[in-house]
Amino acid sequence: MISTATRVLIPSATAFALGIVFAPLLAGILYRKKAWKKSPGKGNGIGGGGTPIFDELHKEREISTPRMGGILIWASVLATAFLFWVLARSFDTFWPMLDFINRQETWLPIFALAIGAFAGLIDDLLEITSGKGGLSLRRRLLIVGSIGLVAGWWFYAKLGVTAIGIPFASPLILGWLIVPFFAFVTLAIYAGGTIDGLDGLAGGVFAIIFMVYAGIAVGEGQVSLAACAATIAGATLAFLWFNIPPARFYMSETGSMALTLALAMTAFASDALAEGVGVSVLPIVAFPLTATVATTMLQVFWKRVFHKKLFRVAPIHHHFEALGWPAAKVTMRYWVITIIAGVLGLAIALLARVP
């Protein structure tokens, strides 16, 4: 027998090591292929209209820094999962304890990571080859919502999940409504993925969030889920090593869609299925993503109702940048906030399980 910490941390360290080794090769390919936007800016922002302030802030880096760096994350995770799966079936001792692929805990997070990576990769390829943007927002939301519905049905029909845990209270019974609720939460988390906009920001935030969920899963006795979450965190830290300013490449859609979908599955897997509160603490643990969604919605609401902006740029991390904060300061303060919020969410999740 090996300890829980070993079962969780060895896959995480392996994913980090694979990412560090793989990154120079990926960067070389992306630079040779000139895998960056052909023109800077977002074009039309959410809610319509242009994004002139954002475009001015990012006009140079967007047409010289490759996209699709998120490949490093999901490739490292999938390679790690496959490696330990093969080793577990090749040797009878030790290695089976490190195989974290199983039906109840990790099939959906790994499946969502892979599907999100593929859909996001298509979007990125279209954007860098056509120069006219990738998949439309409507199509991306349709993909994410469909995955959320399928995953919600799986939890409801195959795993018998009909409720979400509430801290220090009885579970909230949703019945079949767990399916659309699952899709709604998945879409909300995906919307928070627009936090990918400053060097090192998304990588640091997602690495912390997944490591916190690894801790939550350990507290619930879900060792395989904890290992999966820690593996994603390890791979994301390898990406962050090369994404710290000045970034060698950007995460872009193939990374952010993969991570947000995997996060949704991880949160639900650590909820009622394990008599936990993984979904209820999600807005706390992932507070930067929550703030990203909230400030974007407020900006759209303010413009439509009051015909003026509430923030200079939305989401709010670009507002701070537009105020003159150095991008590195915004990024590192977000890391600090994510750590504090993550510790708070972890504490609530673990205390909620105390009899």
pLDDT(24) > 90: yes
**Residue 47: predicted pLDDT:** 46
Q: 32-60, pLDDT tens digit by residue?
A: 998 887 766 654 444 444 555 555 555 55
Amino acid at 206: F
Residue ranges making up the domain that contains 131: 4-351
Three-state SS for 44? strand
pLDDT(127) > 90: no
**Residue 48: predicted pLDDT:** 46
Q: State the Cα–Cα distance between residues 330 and 319, nearest whole angstrom.
A: 10
**Residue 312: predicted pLDDT:** 87
Residue 114 burial (C-beta neighbours within 10 Å; 0-12, 13-18, 19+): middle
Top pLDDT among 94 and 10 is at 10
- pLDDT tier at 201, thresholds 50, 70, 90: very high
**Residue 280: predicted pLDDT:** 96
Q: Answer for the pair 238, 18: CB distance below 8 angstroms, yes or no.
A: yes
Amino acid at 163: A
Q: 311-348, pLDDT tens digit by residue?
A: 888 888 888 888 888 989 999 999 999 999 999 999 99
**Residue 44: predicted pLDDT:** 44
- pLDDT tier at 119, thresholds 50, 70, 90: very high
Overall domain count for the chain: 1
Rounded mean pLDDT of 287-300? 92
Q: State the Cα–Cα distance between residues 78 and 85, nearest whole angstrom.
A: 10
Amino acid at 355: P
Tokens of residue 199, six digits? 């060097």
**Residue 101: predicted pLDDT:** 95
- pLDDT tier at 258, thresholds 50, 70, 90: very high
**Residue 185: predicted pLDDT:** 96
Element (H, E) at 34: none
Q: At what angle do helices 178-192 and 287-306 cross, to 10 degrees?
A: 90
**Residue 132: predicted pLDDT:** 65
- 253 CB contacts (<8 Å, ≥6 apart)? 67, 70, 119, 120, 121, 123, 124, 127, 134, 140
**Residue 37: predicted pLDDT:** 78
Q: 66-92, pLDDT tens digit by residue?
A: 999 999 999 999 999 999 999 999 998
Rounded mean pLDDT of 209-227? 97
**Residue 52: predicted pLDDT:** 57
Q: State the Cα–Cα distance between residues 219 and 123, nearest whole angstrom.
A: 37
Q: 136-190, pLDDT tens digit by residue?
A: 889 999 999 999 999 999 999 998 999 999 999 999 999 999 999 999 999 999 9
Q: What percent of the chain has pLDDT over 90?
A: 71
Amino acid at 11: P
Q: What percent of the chain has pLDDT over 70?
A: 91
**Residue 40: predicted pLDDT:** 62
